[in-house]
Amino acid sequence: MKILAWQVASNREVVDIGKNYKYLFNYLPTEKGKEFSNLLDFSSIEKLTQSLFATMKLFHQEAQTLAQKMGFDYDKEVAEKMIEYAEERLKMNKV
């Protein structure tokens, strides 16, 4: 959620996202809010796993955008290796 808060703050001079990101979704485009809300289905282990990987991929996308916008480095290769490692570990645990 912090990366989304930084995205919002980078688009505005002053913003109050509230305690525990209470107002964050007021500042996000509807599409982005729905995308994040879809990550919150923890009704089963399978859904939780899907949420984990979708969250990692969302963070990866948002971090790249924010890094470019704010002029700092984001090590895309390391992030992709981390996601790949997590996927491999999950496959190993299923066997």
Pairwise CA distance, residues 19 & 40, whole Å: 19
- What is the predicted pLDDT for the residue at 85? 94
To the nearest whole number, what is the mean pLDDT of the chain? 87
What residue segments make up the domains of the chain, in order of their start?
2-94
pLDDT tens column, 12-37: 777 888 888 888 888 888 888 888 88
Predicted model pTM: 0.74
- Dump pLDDT digits (tens) for 4-15: 888 888 877 778
